[in-house]
Structure 1
Amino acid sequence: MIPEWMDQYMSMAALNITWSDVVEILILAFIIYHVMIWIKSTRAWSLMKGSAVLFALLILAYVFHMNTILWIAKNFFSLGIMAVIVVFQPELRRALEQLGENNLLTSIVPFDNSRKVEETLTDRTIGELVKACFEMGKARTGALIVLEQAVSLQEYERTGISIDSLVSSQLILNIFEKNTPLHDGAVIMSGNRIRSATCYLPLSDNMTLSKALGTRHRAAVGVSEVSDSLTIVVSEETGSVSVARGGRLLRNLNQEQLKKQLQALQPKTDDSRKIRLWKGRGKNESKDI
């Protein structure tokens, strides 16, 4: 018994496993893990469950020699792949966008300095935004303000009216004043400037969002799902101020909480810009509801 076990062990040790094989296994495990996580968080999870049922039925057809069903399944398989790509095109596109946004090289070496220093969010702009949002909240004036980050929002800017002006609380209040030409739709900002108003945003199809939320909140979550932007929402019904980012909605913020969310968009100092590849995210002080 022992010699046989030793022979099997030695034969496995003689497989000549190299470092490239180990790296290949790790890469495949990483890809498979993230594909499973992606499937779990999208509509593809329902497809997987349905496919499992279909696969079980095909096994029964094979066992009982149901040749007609097997012939149909064989010829339908090639068309089924194309159908999956067409039906889940938005999810596949978002998965590729997330892969591009989570670039390991940019997290290790911050070499992307395309945004100039003068284009970063200043304390003055933050103060004007906070002031305008809570004044609109008191007056029950609805508002939707998108702050562009690394991912370009030009395709949504083109749906609105170009403004290209410095941010001020008076300008924001005038834009969202009821029954004015620019009040309907979203304002898109880049740095300290308002680029466009009356913009149309994609609506989120997240079924976990509260049914009490209106179109503004769903649009805010929707644009945060397809970009790295931060969106401020002022509710016309309640006057509450919320923030959407990364597909999550933080509701009922006060002035200090909104200010902290905006300050998080400012570039960190040189002392704090260290390599954080192995460091996890900090907990958000606000709770999403």
Structure 2
Amino acid sequence: MEIPNLFGFDFTQITWKEILDFVLVSFVYYRLILLVKGTRAVPVMYGLVLVVLLYYFSSELGLTTLNWLLQNFLGSIFLIIIILFQADIRKGLAAVGTGGLFRRDRGVHEKTLEEIVRALTAMAQMRVGALIVIEKTVPLGDVGERGIPIRGEVTKELLMTIFHPNTPLHDGAVIIQGDKIMAAGCVLPLTTDPKLASQYGTRHRAAIGISEETDAVVTVVSEERGSISVVIDGKLVTNLDEIRLRRVIRNAWAR
């Protein structure tokens, strides 16, 4: 069998435009999958696949009533998705609009991540509350505008100074962009998730809230318990020691 006619298809008839079209579509689908990976959209996608399969089988088996119900449901599915997943859609479109579909995250050097880990560990030992938001592909400029501009290098000492209980900025969030502290004392949106345990206060609710709307890596220190948490895509990882904290932040940044 000749290779050009493999599988009964004449590969010699493929043009460079068709190849380019296939590569671009594949790349876009790949990036879109990365955007929704780990979000609430994933189980919804699985559910939609099951509904479509059920619709197909109901049509083939002649289950008229079930087929009619599924047909009407699928006819309005796009509107339902938009209503249920406004935050995820907004986050995805923001990433695409700022080049998130075609570029990698802003550069944050290992030294910066290490300074953040050292600061969080020290503040946890001292039971000093803290809330740090590390920007990835979705810009946090509008959030930073709600606080006080800093634009300083990320260091353990500066972070501990900002969150010291006697400073006017300690109750807000710090926004880190690249290797700089963009702003401090920032007000974040609170999550409305009713399933969040009552033991978590305003800092944790704010951390989850901003991570539901952006792809930022958010870290929290509880002044009541002296524990460290990381929030990614609305998911809370708690009670981290220094080693686990470093690993979780690195893995989250590499996603």
Q: Cα gap change, 1:203/1:263 in structure 2, threshold over 3 Å: closer, same or farther?
A: same
Q: Secondary structure at the match of 1:264?
A: helix
Instruction: State the match for 1:285 in structure 2.
Output: none
Matches within 5 A, 1:133-144: 133-144=120-131
Mapped to 1, the partners of 2:92 and 2:120 lie a distance apart of: 33
Match status 1:221 vs 2:228: no
1:102, distance to aligned residue in structure 2 (A): 8.3
State how far apart, in whole Å, the 2-side matches of 1:35 and 1:257 are.
Answer: 26
Contact 1:167 1:193 in 2 (8 A): yes
SS in 2 for 1:133: helix
Matches within 5 A, 1:189-228: 189-228=176-215
> Deviations along 1:144-163, whole A, 9 cap, x unmatched?
00001100111111100000
Q: Which residue pairs with 2:50 in the alignment?
A: none
Q: Does 1:37 align with 2:44?
A: yes
Correspondence list, 1:30-179, <5 A: 37=44, 91=84, 93-100=86-93, 111-112=102-103, 120-179=107-166
On the 8 A contact 2:82/2:89 being kept in 1, the answer is no
Relative to 1, partners in 2 of residues 1:90 and 1:224: Cα closer, same or farther, differing over 3 Å? farther
CA distance in 1, matches of 2:235, 2:43: 21
> What is the Cα-based RMSD across aligned positions, in Å?
3.0
Change beyond 3 A, Cα 1:142–1:95: closer
Whether the 8 Å contact between 2:119 and 2:156 is mirrored in structure 1 is yes
Deviations 1:212-246 (Å, cap 9, x if unpaired)? 10000000000000000010000010110000010
Superposed displacement of residue 112, structure 1: 1.8
Deviation at 1:91, TM superposition (A): 4.6
* Contact 2:91–2:138 (CA under 8 A) maintained in structure 1: no
Cα deviations across residues 7-56 of structure 1 (Å, max 9, x unaligned)?
Answer: xxxxxxxxxxxxxxxxxxxxxxxxxxx69938x9xxxxxxxxxxxxxxxx
- Contact 1:177–1:183 (Cα < 8 Å) also in 2: yes
Alignment correspondent of 1:53: none
Q: Is the 8 A contact 2:127 2:222 kept in 1?
A: yes
TM-score (norm 2): 0.63
Deviation at 1:99, TM superposition (A): 4.7
- Say which SS state the counterpart of residue 240 (structure 2) adopts: coil
Q: Secondary structure at the match of 1:120?
A: coil
Match in the other structure for 1:44: none
Give % identity.
37
- Is the partner of 2:160 in helix, strand or coil? helix
Give the equivalent residue in structure 2 for 1:181.
168
SS in 1 for 2:230: strand
Give the whole-Å Cα distance in 1 for the aligned partners of 2:82 and 2:254: 34
Gaps of 5+ in 1: 1-33, 41-84, 269-289
Q: Distance in 2 between matches of 1:35 and 1:122?
A: 31
Query: What is the CA distance between 1:111 and its match in structure 2?
Result: 3.4
- Across the two proteins, how many residue pairs are aligned to each other? 181
Q: CA–CA distance in 2 between the matches of 1:158 and 1:102?
A: 19
- The answer (yes or no) to whether the contact 2:95–2:138 under 8 Å persists in 1 is no
| Whole-angstrom CA distance in 2 between matches of 1:90 and 1:224 | 19
